[in-house]
Structure 1
Amino acid sequence: MMMKLKPVAVLISIVCLFAACTKEYSFEGSLGSGGSTGGTAHFTITGATGSCAAISGNYKANVALSDSNTVAITVYVDSIGTYIISTGTSDGISFSASGTFAGTGAQTIILNGQGTPVASGIFNFTPGNSGCTFSITVTGDSNNSGGTGGNNGGGTTTTDCKACAYTPTCQGSTYVQVYSLNGTTSERTTTYKSVTDTSIGGATYKKIVSNDGMSGDVASYLNCDNGIYTQIAYNATSLTGSASATMIKQIGLKVNVPVGTTWTDNINASYNGITVTNTYKHTIKGIGISKTVEGVTYNDVIQVEVEITTEYNGISIPSGIAEYYFAKGVGTIETDITNNGSTSSISLKSYNIP
């Protein structure tokens, strides 16, 4: 199972890396990307999810959108004036429109697409903060092996869900975790709803769509070639909405290296409108160790320590330390996060891997 860090101070943490994807603790690649509205007019976006938009154009991974990529929506105008409507960004693309309403009543607005899709799959967009959400299906281009087949339209069905031995990605897997955060303890069950293969930058990633019963469907991408576990997530947003990152790419684990091996990842993000750089220094602290979690003893465990610092205007601020424990054939069994003297933890209580 894939584990995430909790945001500490202005820490921008990796998405569902090696954990259940839960919005409360970090960034996640959301399957519904919300947007914003503005202007002097007063209006409401009408229609229900799945039937509120007319989509035009073809969408292919690594092919920039053109004037033909549009989405028509209906709004009801109560008072005239200027308007701005936009979606959030998902898979590297977004939709927006601006102009002036000269009259009231129902009107059709054409949202223009911009950006370049990064990966194949199905991606959701919400114009403004409305109840209208529409889906864009991105197909694989001629230079990658991703497609629209498989489950949830995210590529071809993965052939070996246990190839990443320390983070199995088998569809239908369930993980029950115990969260001990800020003095409160709770349990959450995460299910891997679909796992498919898709191509990103010429490499095959496993697209994992998971749901913990609280945060909705969340997508992330994992590659473990040569024992290097790399995860990607797009359009990550913190729980409060104050921090965001267009893309997060991080190496969370290396399995074919000795104890003491270190590596560093940098992630740029926006925090309350301020751009910051978060640095993650990973260190392999133990290999082949035993670890008892929630009364269960796991063998062949790798321990990884992550020191996080946040840099802004040349100032480096310590933002916390996380300890990850990965059990072979299971996934992350425990994460301990320490910041400013307080410690939070996420521990695995039980699991089922088909």
Structure 2
Amino acid sequence: MMWCLMLGILVSCGDKDNDASPKETAELDYQPTTQGSTWSYGGSTPYTVLATGKTKMIDGKSYAEMETKRGSETGKSYLLKEKGVYTAIGMDPSLGDVALTFLKEETPVGKPWEQSNVINGIQTKMTFTIIGKGISKTVEGKTFKEVIHVQMNATYTIMGTEVELGIPTDYYWAKGVGLILTDMGQLGNFPLLTYSIK
């Protein structure tokens, strides 16, 4: 379940006009990666995220580096945006180098996409569905507009039997801001408390 929590730091980098300023570029993104941008999340295990401004070439593509601090632990992850498709690597050490596609801006509402991986020897399938686009969402008293609501359901294949996790996870991404809420139902919520986009 830790990887679900770590999805709260997913970010992206995008194909933009060369003459666009970093601020203008960030305003078009559903998770900016401009250097020095920060996000602080609450919940049972609060954490902060920093966009370092560094990049890393992975499979011939330039991923943006993000740094996450949770308690005394600090970790790095790498994120990519290509034509509205957001992919992350290294969100959780238990996932290894799995590239997880967590948001597809152009996918119609209600049409799912799936991703299957073997994680720690277990076949895992994650199904993502956009529940709403262009909606408003209030988090910690602040109302965000141009929000995309993505729901993720997971199944695991153990000894030939596919088992559902049973509890969907809902993510809310605000344009120009990033992830504003991770809602794991009875397992807890992780709201955006403060943020600064550079």
Q: TM-score when scaled to structure 1?
A: 0.48
Distance in structure 2 (CA, Å) of the matches to 1:246 and 1:351: 28
Which structure has the larger Rg over C-alpha atoms?
Answer: 1
Distance in structure 2 (CA, Å) of the matches to 1:193 and 1:222: 10
Residue identity opposite 1:305 in structure 2? Q
Contact preservation (8 Å) 1:245, 1:268: no
Does residue 280 (structure 1) correspond to residue 126 (structure 2)? The answer is yes
Does residue 246 (structure 1) correspond to residue 86 (structure 2)? The answer is no
Does residue 352 (structure 1) correspond to residue 182 (structure 2)? The answer is no
Runs of 5+ consecutive residues of structure 2 not aligned to the other structure: 11-20
Does residue 313 (structure 1) correspond to residue 171 (structure 2)? The answer is no
CA change 1:308–1:191 in 2 (3 A) is closer
| 1:10-29 equivalence runs, <5 A | 13=3, 16-19=6-9
Cα shift at 1:223: 0.8
Q: Deviations for 1:141-173, whole angstroms, at most 9, x for unmatched residues?
A: xxxxxxxxxxxxxxxxxx847287011112222
Aligned partner of residue 83 in structure 2, secondary structure: helix
Q: Deviations for 1:232-252, whole angstroms, at most 9, x for unmatched residues?
A: 118x44xxxxxx343221100
Residue identity opposite 2:84 in structure 1? G
Q: Who is 1:330 aligned against?
A: 177
Q: Who is 1:174 aligned against?
A: 38
Contact preservation (8 Å) 1:289, 1:302: yes
Which structure carries more relative contact order (alpha carbon 8 Å, separation 6+)? 2
Aligned partner of residue 26 in structure 2, secondary structure: coil
Distance in structure 2 (CA, Å) of the matches to 1:207 and 1:164: 19
Sequence identity (%): 31
Runs of 5+ consecutive residues of structure 1 not aligned to the other structure: 1-6, 21-158, 238-243
Aligned residues: 186
| 1:104-183 equivalence runs, <5 A | 160=22, 162=26, 165-179=29-43, 181=44
| 1:83-122 equivalence runs, <5 A | none
Distance in structure 2 (CA, Å) of the matches to 1:246 and 1:177: 24
Distance in structure 1 (CA, Å) of the matches to 2:96 and 2:65: 18
Aligned partner of residue 162 in structure 1, secondary structure: helix
Does residue 217 (structure 1) correspond to residue 47 (structure 2)? The answer is no
Q: Who is 1:227 aligned against?
A: 84
Residue identity opposite 1:198 in structure 2? K
Residue identity opposite 2:193 in structure 1? K
Aligned partner of residue 176 in structure 2, secondary structure: coil
Q: TM-score when scaled to structure 2?
A: 0.83
CA change 1:16–1:189 in 2 (3 A) is closer
If each structure's helix is expressed as a fraction of its own residues, which one has the higher value? Answer: 2
Distance in structure 2 (CA, Å) of the matches to 1:335 and 1:248: 20
Q: Who is 2:48 aligned against?
A: 190
Residue identity opposite 2:182 in structure 1? T
Q: Who is 1:23 aligned against?
A: none
Cα shift at 1:202: 1.5
Aligned partner of residue 166 in structure 1, secondary structure: coil
Contact preservation (8 Å) 1:15, 1:248: no
Contact preservation (8 Å) 1:322, 1:335: yes
